[in-house]
Amino acid sequence: MSALPKDKNEWQNFLSKTLGKEIKLLNYQPLRREEGYEGGLGTPYVITFETDGVVEEVVVKTSGTSFGREHPEDRFKDSVGSFRTSSVLPRHVEVFGLGSVTKDGKLINLKDASESFVVMKMIKGTPYIDYLTNILKTKKISEDDLRAAEVLSNYLVDIHGNKNESKNASSLYRRHIRCVVGGDEGIPGVVDHLYRDLDDKTVKEKFGFDKKKLMNRISGIEKKSVEIGHAIKNIGGRCSLKHGDFHPWGNVIYQAYPEAFTLIDLSRGEWGEPADDLTSMWINYVDHALLDEGRYDGNFKKIGDKFMENYLKKTGDYQVLETAPPFIAWRGLVIANPSWYPNKSREVRNKIFNMIENVLDAKELNYKDVNSYFD
């Protein structure tokens, strides 16, 4: 988190531009909390200044780094929300400025912003999924395919080796687990956006049973995921650098297969549980094995085992198999969904659901005996 600058000239220039008139900054100090109260999020500062011979004060407030504000984008969202809603809510103090701090301590006024966006370099190449699809079509696997799994696994070994050692690490880790088992982009979001609106006919066609049964199974998956989430939330020492959406469907783009690739769409913050990235890629090997062999066997088992065993051997992190179940549930619900994957057979969908439930019941992932999960 970029600290608010102490440079009086920065604040004097910023407030002059924000207020539309020249000011003279007199003082800048933390706002005194009420006696005996240690709560609150963020650190408010009082800035005293003089303009046109009148002394005035304004309060500058940051958002804090907990309670869903662990990432910079969370704090930006919170600040934008405070600015936007202050003019709507009756009796709310006027919020007349919206600012940001650059890495070198400069202040930027964002009060006229109505939307945010990113600008990225155009990446050309071949998505990893194309190579997996080719294996599925040709029934052939090459040394390059095995090497690609190893290279991708090595990449995760490298980034997950970066552990967050800040005082905020435990909060970041819990935030990540919370996002998966209880967040809009995690399991509840997948359920609400991809399953609840399925009609009975589609469910019957794609799964072979009625929607009530499907939603009962999903409800059980959600409950078990939350239980495991509670059990693993306190191992914040595992908080690692991560990608957050490490899958072959367009997020891994090769410039030279199997060595050179580029990633896009880092998601849900850069810190969290390594099992996220590991299972996000690995479950696609399982899915393709089911499409190919009807079980975890053959070419895709060779690739999946190479990917997983290389990671475990080089990291020595076998605890990741215990933190994996909620992530298996999350990603499994995605790849089994008929809205995003309409051409999958009901047999494959049901095997994925069985796998989710059995892994959650076991409270760990046994990648050596995946086929036992499908019944």
* CATH number reported for the structural domain that contains residue 241 in this entry: 3.90.1200
Residue 23 pLDDT class (50, 70, 90 cuts)? very high
Residue-level pLDDT at 39: 55
More confident residue, 291 or 95: 291
Q: What is the mean pLDDT of residues 121-137?
A: 95
Q: Domain total for the chain?
A: 2
Label residues 169-182 b or e (16+ Cβ within 10 Å = b).
Answer: bbbbbbbbbebbbe
Residue 114 located in a structural domain: no
Same domain, 213 and 324: yes
Domain holding 87, by residue range, is 8-109
| 53 within some domain | yes
pLDDT winner (highest mean) among 42-46, 91-95, 315-319: 315-319
110 or 238: which leads in pLDDT = 238
- Please state, as a whole number, how many other Cβ atoms lie within 10 Å of the Cβ of residue 333: 22
Do 308 and 168 share a structural domain?
yes
Same domain, 66 and 196: no
Q: Considering all CA atoms of the chain, what is the largest pairwise distance in Å, rounded to the nearest integer?
A: 82
Mark which of 66, 83, 109 sits at the end of a domain.
109
Q: Is the pLDDT of residue 358 over 70?
A: yes
264 lies in some domain = yes
For residue 337, the model assigns a pLDDT of: 96
User: Which residue type occupies 141?
Assistant: I
Give the pLDDT confidence score for residue 37 in this predicted structure. Answer: 47
Mean pLDDT of 131-155: 98
- Predicted TM-score of the model (pTM): 0.89
Domain finish residue from 80, 109, 138:
109
In terms of domains, do 138 and 104 share one?
A: no
**The most confident of 34-48, 51-65, 112-126, 225-239, by mean pLDDT:** 225-239
261-290: average pLDDT: 95
Same domain, 132 and 101: no
- In this structure, the answer to whether residues 134 and 233 fall within a common structural domain is yes
Same domain, 138 and 249: yes
- pLDDT, residue 199, reads 96
- Domain-terminating residue out of 109, 136, 156: 109
Same domain flag for 95 and 132: no
β strands within 2-98, DSSP E: 24-30, 44-51, 54-61
Q: What is the pLDDT of residue 41?
A: 64
Is 2 a member of any domain? no
Judged against a pLDDT cut of 60, whether residue 34 lies above it is answered with no
97 and 144 housed in the same domain: no
**118 is a domain residue:** no
pLDDT tens string 148-207: 999 999 999 999 999 999 999 999 999 999 999 999 999 999 999 999 999 999 999 999
Range scoring the smallest mean pLDDT among 167-171, 216-220, 328-332: 167-171
Average pLDDT score, the chain: 92
Segments of the chain assigned E as strands: 24-30, 44-51, 54-61, 99-101, 107-109, 126-127, 240-241, 252-256, 260-263, 271-272
99 plus 185 within the same structural domain: no
**pLDDT tops 80 at residue 2:** no
Q: What pLDDT sits at residue 3?
A: 74
pLDDT score at 89: 77
Of 148, 123, 125, nearest to 135 by C-alpha is: 148
- Measure the CA–CA gap between 12 and 26, rounded to whole angstroms: 9
Give CA–CA dist 216/107, Å, rounded: 52
- 301 lies in a domain? yes
User: 139-143 contacts: CB < 8 A, separation 24 or more?
Assistant: 139/292, 139/299, 140/299, 141/299, 141/302, 141/303
Q: Are residues 236 and 87 in the same domain?
A: no
Q: Is the peptide bond before 72 cis (omega within 30 degrees of 0)?
A: no
Is 90 within a domain?
A: yes
Tokens of 277: 């990235």
74-78, 80-84, 275-279, range with greatest mean pLDDT = 275-279
Same domain, yes or no: 170 and 313: yes
* pLDDT value at 219 more than 50: yes
Percent of the chain with pLDDT over 90: 73
Q: Is residue 85 part of a domain?
A: yes
pLDDT at 44: 84
Mean pLDDT lowest for which of 66-70, 163-167, 221-225?
66-70
Residue 114 has pLDDT above 90, yes or no: no
